[in-house]
């Protein structure tokens, strides 16, 4: 299904007067403070976040999975879902595929479909954390770190194939997340596992096309509960350096032990030109993969403040690849993703309001109170009218959730796909 532009315009009409009122008020306030509202709007419209192909169905836990009606059951339908998100929000102009869950059958048809929705293919994700049907070797005891050479070779070969698949779609990066680690003390030799991982990554790196990037994701625990080979940003950074210029660290917000200062990690990586990719989500305890901004919106703002500073001051760091990595056990996955996209844009807009010059001055004067005032003044500003304006000007919805509901998108998807469709790949 596709959203009809004239029906979207009708939905917007209901919100138009209120929006205009709020926007004019905010825009005046910001202009008086010296903000360049036009340039903020342009930055918001340019900010595109990839949707992972595995986030479009209802996720689940090891205790069960409660499906959601009208889920996409093939790659074409997943791309259509991202198309719906992009039409409404104008900020989801990319999809990130997971191989082998989403191997295209007809490449040119898939590219054409994505193109018709104005969607590009962002990073491709390999999978050496599950055994595939008819695979010769098992990843039970690890993949790139395995003590058995033929297991490592199979995992390296898989990553090479993922690059080839991505290349045919126009992707320019490969994300590697490894489940490798150990469940019990003594089970694995840390040094051997790390050395094997480094050597395997270097072999994959050799097959990377020149204009590609390799993103190395880290995570402290889960699925292994004693040790993980790439447990933190330092390990990822070290491995990226060992591979070369095209290798980078990827930060997933949920992959930190409680209270870790993620904004400081972001700053360090950008200073060193090594922040390649970003996975957005939120969490209370661990890798919860909750809706972005649902638990710790102030932390998200502080992280964006570091990102904005880095994007403006660190030309040595490439523009990062943004992706949502969340899972939806209870909500309609599309509504959940709309909420995540909104939270990302909101934190970004607030960070853009921070007066960096004033902040630097206050830091140099050691005016700690002023520093906090500057950050919190930006954080306390209700920037939603800016988001609405940016979306409206790009042809999206003033209020995407309202439009999604009033246009009865889910009802239409259920009519089209049935009540018991199950998202493929899960
Ligand atoms: C796993 O915890 C990581 O966040 C991965 O980025 C991702 O969720 C996984 O690769 C899904 O395939
Ligand atoms: Zn992730
Ligand atoms: Zn994760």
User: For ligand 1, is residue 256 a contact (CB within 6 Å)?
Assistant: no
Q: Which ligand is nearest to the CA of 278?
A: 2
Ligand 1 pocket check for 217: Cβ under 6 Å: yes
Q: Residue 256 CA: which ligand is closest?
A: 3
For residue 324, give the H/E element and its range: strand 321-324
Count CB-CB contacts under 10 A for residue 2.
11
Q: Please give the full DSSP string across 5-46, using - where no structure is assigned.
A: HHHHHHHHHHHHHHHHHHHHHHHHHHHHHT--HHHHHHHHHH
SS3 96: strand
- What does DSSP say about strands 181-182 and 213-217: parallel, antiparallel, or unpaired? unpaired
pLDDT at 34: 95
Atom 3 (ligand 1): residue with closest C-alpha?
A: 177
Ligand nearest to the CA of 289: 3
pLDDT in the model for residue 425: 65
Q: Which of 60, 101, 325 to mutate to test the pocket of ligand 1 (most atoms within 8 A of CB)?
A: 325
Tens digits of residue pLDDT in 273-315: 999 999 999 999 999 999 999 999 999 999 999 999 999 999 9
Q: CA 155 to CA 196: how far, in whole Å? A: 12
Q: Are 314 and 271 in contact (CB under 8 A)?
A: yes
Name the average pLDDT for the chain: 96
- In the three-class reduction of DSSP (H, G, I as helix; E, B as strand; rest coil), residue 75 is classed as helix
Alpha helices in 127-232 (DSSP H): 149-169, 190-206
CA 343, CA 325: separation in Å to the nearest integer? 14
Phi, psi at residue 290, to the nearest 5°?
-80, 170
Closest-approaching ligand to the CA atom of 129: 1
Neighbours of ion ligand 2 (CB under 5 A): 252, 279, 325
Decide: helix, strand or coil at residue 248.
Answer: strand
Please give the distance, rounded to the nearest whole angstrom, from the Cα atom of residue 288 to the centre of ligand 3: 8
The domain defined by 5-417 folds into TIM Barrel (3.20.20)
State mean pLDDT over 218-244.
Answer: 98
Q: Which residues contact 117 (CB under 8 A, 6 or more apart)?
A: 79, 80, 82, 83, 86, 87
Cα gap 297→226, rounded to integer Å: 30
- Which residue would you say has higher pLDDT here, 59 or 77? 77
Strand partners, 176: 216
Q: Is the pLDDT of residue 24 over 60?
A: yes
- Look at residue 426 and tell me whether its pLDDT is greater than 70: no
Residue 105 has pLDDT above 80, yes or no: yes
How many angstroms is it from 325 CA to the middle of ligand 3? 7
**Token duo for residue 53:** 């192909």
Q: How far apart are CA 150 and CA 146, in angstroms?
A: 9
The alpha carbon of 325 and the centre of ligand 2 are apart by a number of angstroms equal to: 5
Ligand 1 close to Cβ of residue 289 (< 6 A): no
Global confidence as pTM = 0.97
d(CA 227, CA 220): 8
**Ligand 1 atom at minimal distance to the Cα of residue 98:** 12
């Amino acid at each position: 299904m596709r959203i009809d532009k004239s029906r979207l315009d009708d939905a917007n009409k209901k919100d138009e007067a209120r929006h205009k009122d709020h926007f004019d008020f905010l825009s005046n306030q910001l202009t008086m403070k010296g903000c360049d509202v036009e340039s903020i709007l342009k930055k918001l419209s340019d900010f595109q976040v990839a949707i992972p192909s595995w986030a479009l169905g209802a996720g689940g836990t090891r205790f069960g999975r409660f499906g959601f009606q009208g889920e996409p059951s093939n790659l074409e339908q997943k791309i259509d879902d991202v198309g719906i998100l992009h039409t409404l929000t104008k900020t989801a102009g990319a999809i990130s595929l997971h191989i082998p869950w989403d191997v295209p059958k007809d490449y040119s048809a898939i590219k054409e479909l994505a193109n018709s929705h104005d969607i590009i293919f962002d990073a491709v994700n390999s999978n050496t954390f599950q055994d595939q049907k008819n695979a010769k070797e098992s990843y039970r005891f690890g993949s790139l770190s395995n003590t058995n050479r033929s297991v490592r070779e199979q995992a390296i070969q898989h990553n090479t194939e993922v690059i080839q698949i991505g290349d045919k779609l126009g992707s320019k990066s490969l994300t590697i997340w490894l489940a490798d680690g150990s469940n019990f003390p003594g089970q694995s030799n840390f040094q051997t596992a790390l050395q094997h991982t480094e050597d395997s990554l270097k072999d994959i790196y050799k097959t990377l096309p020149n204009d590609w990037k390799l993103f190395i994701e880290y995570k402290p625990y889960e699925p292994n509960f004693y040790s993980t080979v790439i447990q933190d940003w330092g390990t990822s950074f070290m491995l990226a350096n060992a591979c070369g210029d095209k290798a980078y660290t990827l930060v997933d917000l949920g992959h930190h032990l409680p209270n870790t200062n993620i904004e400081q990690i972001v700053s360090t990586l950008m200073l060193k030109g090594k922040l390649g990719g970003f996975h957005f989500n939120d969490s209370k305890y661990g890798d919860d993969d909750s809706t972005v901004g649902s638990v710790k919106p102030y932390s998200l703002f502080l992280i964006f403040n570091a990102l904005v500073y880095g994007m403006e001051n660190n030309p040595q760091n490439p523009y990062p690849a943004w992706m949502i990595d969340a899972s939806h056990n209870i909500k309609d996955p599309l509504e959940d993703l709309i909420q995540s996209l909104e939270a990302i844009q909101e934190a970004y807009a607030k960070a853009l309001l921070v007066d960096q010059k004033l902040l630097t001055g206050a830091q140099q004067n050691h005016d700690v109170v002023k520093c906090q005032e500057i950050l919190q003044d930006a954080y306390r500003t209700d920037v939603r009218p800016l988001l609405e304006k940016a979306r409206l000007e790009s042809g999206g919805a003033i209020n995407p959730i309202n439009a999604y509901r009033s246009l009865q998108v889910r009802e239409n998807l259920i009519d089209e796909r049935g009540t018991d469709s199950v998202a493929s790949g899960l």
